[in-house]
Amino acid sequence: MGDTDPTGPVMDRDEVDRALARLGAEHEAIETSLLALQDHAGRRLLEGAALTGVTAERWSAAEASITLLWNCFDAYTGALRTAREIRSRRRWSSREDLAELTELLRGEAVTMAGGAAATAGVPDGGPGRLSERYSLATLVDRMNQLYAASLDMVVAADAVWSALPARIDLLAAELRRTRELAHSVGVRPGEHPAGDDLERITRTLTRLREQVVSDPLAFWTPAEGSSAPGGGRPDTTVYDREARALEDVRREIDAVLAVRQDAEQRIVRLRDVLSRADRTLAEARTARGEVLAKIAATEVPVVSGPPTALQEQLAAAAEYRRHAQWHRLSPLLESLEEKAEDELLRARESLTAVTAPLAVRAELRGRLDAYKAKVARLGHAEDPELAEKYEKARRMLWSAPCDLRVAGQAVLRYQHAAAELLGSAPRVPGQGGPVDRTGPGV
């Protein structure tokens, strides 16, 4: 072998025995790993699946790697068996035996076909040498590389298959229940955005499951910086997005269900509110006629008619309820409830504005009668001046049309006269001045 022999000095018997023991342990470990890979559930699934995309490409390369791995293992097994046979020829190996063992255990004594020297994806007979020689140590390194790459691919595919299809099936079952519920409340494709969303989610999940089953590695995210086989996690981005979309649709359908449950009560309440608004406006119109007839020289605001637009929308809401169009009823009811309350408030404000002159007249009447009662209580009911002022103010307030400004002045004159008679001055409403401390207390 000469001075350039890479095997180095001839090994002695102890070195040979130690090398054989180490190689035997490596052989056993490699065989255990290969059998585990052979029985791996992911590998069996890959063999039986109709693969597409990146998984089909990588599995084709992995199959070539696994075949090459077994060929390397067979060559390794053969070399180890030959070495053991040589060592077992005699108890004390001869110089020739030790030289042969040294060449076998340390030298490039294992010949592999050219495919073994090629990368895993290159079939036998490809470009390169027809055969290549390996040392047992180099062959072990080669097998470790092939095993790690093959196992990484198998574990990744198995992890995706174990995680995503089951989750997709559960989501699809929830989707079916949601679609049935949506259909029961009138949420259908082409009629409601949530119905369109359910159709889109259904198509996406169906397509996603098909892709996951045929191309699991397209949904695998390797772990950064990890060299361990199977380092990474399934990519659930599409699944998570559709799960969130389904949850959004479910919340919207729950809202529609809530509308269906209390729609009748809400419509009844709306009718009541609008009816009260109509009655209040009718009362305001009647009051306006009374004010115009009984109060002179007063600006009385015009009273609008009933809100026909709201009544039409209420009729539409009742139609939606009859035809179970809950998705249309929901926003309409919310809008109507707000508008109806505003309409009732407007009607009340209109009634208040219209009846303000009558309220002023009633306040003047009450004030006049209160002072008369006070004067009578203090023994001055027969005073002629007071009686004349009282009668004049009373005629103004109880006749139609009533001039509130003139009547108010007449009442004030009666108050002043009564106050002077009783020894106190009344306070003019809205002005400063002395307060009538002997008032009737009414």
* pLDDT recorded at residue 119: 46
Q: Which residue has the higher pLDDT, 389 or 90?
A: 389
Q: Is the peptide bond before 6 cis (omega within 30 degrees of 0)?
A: no
Q: Which of 134, 140, 160, 164 is nearest to 216 (CA)?
A: 160
User: Rounded distance, CA 166 to CA 376, Å?
Assistant: 97
Asked whether residue 299 carries a pLDDT value surpassing 90, the answer given is: no
Q: Which residue has the higher pLDDT, 383 or 236?
A: 236
CB 312 within 8 A of CB 270: no
Burial class from Cβ neighbours inside 10 Å (0-12, 13-18, 19+) for residue 179 reads buried
- One-letter amino acid at 436 equals D
pLDDT confidence band for 123 (50 / 70 / 90)? very low
User: Rounded distance, CA 353 to CA 6, Å?
Assistant: 115
User: Rounded distance, CA 130 to CA 46, Å?
Assistant: 31
- One-letter amino acid at 73 equals F
Residues 143-177: tens digit of each pLDDT: 988 998 899 899 999 999 999 999 999 999 999 99
- Domain-wise residue ranges, the chain: 13-155, 160-259, 265-354, 357-422
Neighbours of 19 (CB within 10 A): 19
Average of per-residue pLDDT values in the chain: 82
Neighbours of 437 (CB within 10 A): 12
Neighbours of 169 (CB within 10 A): 12
CB 134 within 8 A of CB 110: yes
List C-alpha distances in Å: 223 to 152, 164, 226, 375: 12, 18, 6, 102
Mean pLDDT in residue range 426-432: 44
Q: Are strands 131-134 and 110-113 parallel, antiparallel or unpaired?
A: antiparallel
Q: How many residues does the chain have?
A: 442
Asked whether residue 21 carries a pLDDT value surpassing 70, the answer given is: yes
Q: Which residue has the higher pLDDT, 205 or 224?
A: 205
Torsion, CA 353, CA 356, CA 357, CA 363, rounded to 10: 180
- One-letter amino acid at 379 equals G
Mean pLDDT in residue range 96-116: 78
Mean pLDDT in residue range 6-10: 69
> Please, what is the angle between helix 237-294 and helix 136-184, to 10°?
20
Q: Which residues of 372-384 are buried (b: 16+ CB within 10 A; e: fewer)?
A: bebbeeeeeeeee
SS3 174: helix
Whole-model pTM over 0.75: no
- One-letter amino acid at 309 equals A
Mean pLDDT in residue range 331-339: 89
> DSSP letter string over 295-327?
EES---PPPP---HHHHHHHHHHHHHHHTT-HH
**All residues at 6 or more sequence positions from 11 whose CB lies less than 8 Å from its CB, including other chains:** 19, 98, 101, 102, 105, 106
Residues 170-201: tens digit of each pLDDT: 999 999 999 998 887 777 888 778 889 999 99
Mean pLDDT in residue range 330-354: 89
pLDDT confidence band for 32 (50 / 70 / 90)? very high
